């Protein structure tokens, strides 16, 4: 166990007891790439979800928002390659068909299969291919299927994203596992990402939902790749209680531990989504402190993290302090220039709103390492916020220009 009271272990969504997964190629994506993932819990699980706030919600998002409020869940089915978004009534019917077929194939009750889609917007789902894929995915379910599942939800991601951890609670080993996909359209409200988190702890639904929301707020909602917001963002969590066949009531300390590990897990996943952002080569952590309140701190941090000019200069291997200040000043937050200080890593580059002499080689060295932290001190209060982003590269433009 580490200092935080848990240990990172190998594996993903199948690390907690009682979860099986699989990933298959059903033919939505070209070239036979895997495009359908299935996760199954051997025991009824409590479920919670957080979804995109985009008004153009995809059909599976609308449907999943309903299902997740049902009494219990047994499975999650996800396809990549087609987002089933902007597909109207037919899209709703297709998402329903996908869920119905999975319920039947798994032999579970109605309303126990959660659903998500990711990929192109404005295209209809190839339902025949999805249903034959579900059939195959049910046949291939296994406790070793987590990586296949993580691969099958990828779109422009360059590698599958999985994570798992274990801790001791009530004398037993309790586990958390997760898989996620991201890449572009990554912005507050989780833009184009899908994540599934599993645990073998038993959790009351309301508490789990509350914890999931908070941990998403501090992780997936604090990253941005391109400022674009997706129609399909979905984070799902399933708790099947398999670690305690006879039940267990969490002490406050145990609850704290579990929540901390959940936050670690979502934070790590969020970071890996930015790091693997479309065309991303460098990571930028923007910290805004001594702000009047949390809302202002966050607003300034987001304005900087979403500035194309800031992100381009990072791509060029430098940190343009003027652009950072200009972005901060456009956030709609009152700023006293004479109190402003800016740090790049440990190096103070602006004090009292004026440039401070420093060795530019120190900062170049930092950008070459591929990870830069910029701290903007507003000097007017005690609040702070942090947003993680990446550079804006020619590769990003090429990927999204369809080259």
Sites of contact with a second copy (CB under 8 A)? 53-57, 83, 85-91, 120-123, 184-185, 187, 189, 226-231, 306-309, 312-313, 315-318, 321-323, 325-331, 333-335, 337-338, 350, 352-355, 392-394, 396-403
Nearest distance in Å: CB 280, a second copy: 13
Residue from 87, 192, 367, 389 carrying the catalytic annotation: 192
Nearer Cβ to a second copy (206/354): 354
The vertex-56 CA angle with 29 and 137, nearest 5°, equals 35
The four Cα atoms 393, 396, 399, 403 give a dihedral, to 10 degrees, of: -40
Nearer Cβ to a second copy (252/403): 403
Binding residues for substrate: 155, 181, 192, 278, 400
Nearest distance in Å: CB 121, a second copy: 3
To the query of whether residue 53 is one of the catalytic residues in this protein, the response is no
Question: Can you say how many angstroms the Cα of residue 152 is from the centroid of all Cα atoms in its chain?
Answer: 16
Nearest distance in Å: CB 292, a second copy: 13
Nearer Cβ to a second copy (45/340): 340
Which residues form the catalytic set?
192
């Amino acid at each position: 166990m580490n200092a935080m009271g848990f240990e990172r272990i190998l594996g993903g969504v199948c690390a907690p007891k009682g979860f099986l997964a699989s990933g298959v190629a059903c033919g939505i994506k070209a070239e036979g790439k895997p495009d359908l993932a299935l996760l199954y819990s051997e025991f009824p699980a409590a479920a919670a979800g957080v979804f995109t706030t985009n008004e153009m919600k995809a059909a599976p998002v609308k449907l999943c928002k309903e299902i997740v409020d049902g009494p219990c869940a047994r499975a999650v089915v996800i396809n990549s390659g087609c987002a089933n978004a902007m597909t109207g009534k037919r899209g709703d019917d297709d998402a329903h068909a996908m869920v119905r077929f999975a319920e039947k194939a798994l032999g579970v009750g109605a309303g126990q299969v959660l659903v998500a889609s990711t990929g192109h917007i404005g295209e209809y789902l190839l339902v025949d291919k999805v249903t034959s894929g579900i059939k195959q995915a049910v046949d291939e379910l296994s406790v070793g299927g987590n990586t296949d599942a993580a691969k099958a939800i990828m779109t422009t991601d360059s590698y599958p994203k999985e994570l798992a951890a274990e801790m001791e609670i009530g004398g037993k080993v309790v586990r958390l596992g997760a898989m996620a996909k991201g890449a572009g359209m990554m912005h507050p409200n989780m833009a184009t990402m899908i994540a599934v988190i599993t645990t073998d702890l038993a959790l009351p639904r309301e508490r789990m939902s509350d914890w999931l929301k908070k941990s998403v707020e501090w992780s997936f909602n604090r990253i941005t790749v391109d400022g674009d917001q997706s129609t399909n963002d979905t984070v799902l969590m399933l708790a099947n209680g398999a670690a305690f066949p006879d039940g267990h009531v969490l002490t406050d300390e145990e609850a704290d531990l579990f929540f901390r590990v959940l936050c670690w897990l979502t934070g790590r996943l969020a970071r890996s989504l930015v790091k693997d952002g479309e065309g991303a080569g460098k990571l930028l952590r923007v910290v805004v402190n001594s702000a009047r309140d949390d809302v202002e701190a966050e607003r300034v941090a987001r304005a900087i993290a979403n500035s194309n000019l800031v992100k381009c200069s990072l791509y060029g291997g430098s940190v343009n302090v003027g652009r950072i200040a200009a972005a901060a000043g456009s956030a709609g937050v009152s700023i006293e220039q004479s109190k402003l200080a800016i740090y790049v890593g440990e190096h103070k580059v602006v004090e009292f709103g004026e440039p401070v002499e420093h060795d530019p080689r120190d900062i170049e060295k930092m950008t070459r390492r591929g990870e830069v932290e910029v701290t903007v001190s507003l000097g007017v209060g005690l609040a702070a916020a942090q947003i993680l982003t990446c550079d804006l590269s020619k590769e990003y433009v090429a990927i999204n220009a369809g080259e």
